[in-house]
Amino acid sequence: MIDAKSFMEFFENEYGIKFIDQKTGKRAIDVIAENKKAKNDPCMSLLANLDKIKTTELGKERIKKNLGLVTDDVVDWCVRKIRQADSITQKGKNWYVYAGDAIITINARSYTIITAHKRRQK
């Protein structure tokens, strides 16, 4: 059995036929490569789904208390921090976002911010 990428590469090389992704307008082969990279890179998966980030009411209060935040829009604050992250790692079911003086813990399946803490000084 031949995979989709090999099939498209064959037609592109042999017949000059290019498959275009209708959603993005990009070459389908490039979209497949991007998707494969995103699956292998947890950071890309999180960054591609920032619109799904959420937290509970208890989570909002816990994050505000732990970080000393004054804002009521904790999710927006966290999303901005995620975009500016120094590093993002995935351990088990959670992502850990290290951004400035904060560590934000996010469930990898539900995109729910579980908690956030200030980084300990070394």
Note the pLDDT tens digit of each residue in 23-40: 778 887 787 777 666 555
44 or 40, higher pLDDT: 44
Tokens of 121: 């000084």
> What is the Cα–Cα distance from 117 to 105, expressed in whole angstroms?
9
Domain count, the chain: 2
Q: Is residue 45 part of a domain?
A: no
| pTM for the model | 0.67
Q: What SS3 class is residue 47?
A: helix
- Do 20 and 67 lie in one domain? The reply is no
Q: Residue 77 is encoded by which pair of tokens?
A: 């604050």
Whether residue 36 is found in the same domain as residue 57 = no
Q: 100 is in which domain, residue-wise?
A: 52-118
- Quick one: 16 and 74 in the same domain? no
User: Does residue 32 fall inside a structural domain?
Assistant: yes
Does residue 36 sit in the same domain as residue 59? no
Angle at 59 (CA atoms; ends 68, 53), nearest 5 degrees: 105
56 shares a domain with 33: no
